[in-house]
Structure 1
């Protein structure tokens, strides 16, 4: 029973720790990056959810209203570079893909889900493409620090509990 309590404590600690920080995401110039946003509330699976992606809290990246993408208000800097995954909406996944990443894309992105009063923030860091010689010696695959490790553990555990039949 002690191990089980230890596991629950660790899981709750990871959730608490992850909730205090923005999710770090790293991209490479001219590459493609997924900006994650998901929630497991059943209300979001009905097809009537509204999701609002913002850059710096004010620039419109993408708006989803009733499973329809609205780009009329989309900021010019994102036009033609943002994709979404409509097949994932019923799973509560509202992640987006940003193509042809630019240095100017670095910053804070927010995924607002008003129906469940959720706000998920991500910090996108954009790096210049490394030469193959530099990449071979990096050793850690671009992962830095304990917050990345904690996030990796957290998402693995969350996936285990959410996807478990």
Structure 2
């Protein structure tokens, strides 16, 4: 019985570890630009391996790089003329974008998918109105940085909860 519970536990841990990419939180201000990072540094990619697909809220096409060449043919109209990519950096594994002229409707989840190397980067973009004074900006920055969760806390809590559930199930048997 213990072995069966342990196998279930190990399988679940593997799913958690490989399941969903971590999500980086980025905040920008209406009218400004924001850097949306995405990179692959494990090894140098050949041009035919450089296939990167940026998506917004899992459906809208933000920006594509196919076989090392940028493509905006299927780009959603809400991003037309507002995306800047670091073309010279693609060969170094930097696929970051700059989104300019931010609007409140830009807030949401962005996904940078590099399927040839099975890598995804999630980014949650928050868009705020400009602070009216410098003291408000300083206060806002402090409070938002205090709210930031330590990296991996969600995974840790999920593992603890899963362990407790499995422990309870094993006790029933």
State TM-score, norm by structure 1. Answer: 0.72
| 2:133 is equivalent to residue 134 of structure 1 | no
Aligned to 1:163: none
| 2:144 is equivalent to residue 145 of structure 1 | no
Deviations 1:23-81 (A, max 9, x none): 1011110000011101113252x222110000011100000112211111000000000
Task: Please list every run of at least 4 consecutive aligned residues from structure 1 whose deviation after the TM superposition is greater than 3 angstroms.
Answer: 136-139
Q: Distance in 1 between matches of 2:56 and 2:95?
A: 15
Task: Report the count of equivalent residues.
Answer: 132
**Greater mean alpha carbon deviation, residues 63-72 or residues 93-102:** 63-72
Q: Distance in 1 between matches of 2:21 and 2:110?
A: 15
| 2:47 is equivalent to residue 47 of structure 1 | yes
Query: What is the RMSD of the two structures over their aligned residues, measured on CA atoms?
Result: 2.1
Q: Distance in 1 between matches of 2:54 and 2:101?
A: 18
- Segments of 5+ residues of structure 1 without an aligned counterpart are 1-15, 152-165
Aligned to 2:92: 91
Residue aligned with 2:137, SS: helix
Residue aligned with 2:70, SS: strand
Residue aligned with 1:143, SS: helix
Larger Rg: 2
Deviations 1:75-98 (A, max 9, x none): 000000001001211221100000
State TM-score, norm by structure 2. Answer: 0.69
Q: Distance in 1 between matches of 2:112 and 2:42?
A: 15
Aligned to 1:80: 81
Q: Distance in 2 between matches of 1:20 and 1:50?
A: 18
8 Å contact kept, 1:28–1:128: yes
Q: Distance in 2 between matches of 1:67 and 1:144?
A: 39
8 Å contact kept, 1:41–1:116: no
8 Å contact kept, 2:85–2:96: yes
Q: Distance in 2 between matches of 1:91 and 1:20?
A: 21
Residue aligned with 1:144, SS: helix
Shift of 1:140: 2.1
Residue aligned with 1:100, SS: coil
Matches within 5 A, 1:21-36: 21-36=22-37
Residue aligned with 1:61, SS: strand
8 Å contact kept, 1:33–1:99: yes
Q: Distance in 1 between matches of 2:141 and 2:103?
A: 25
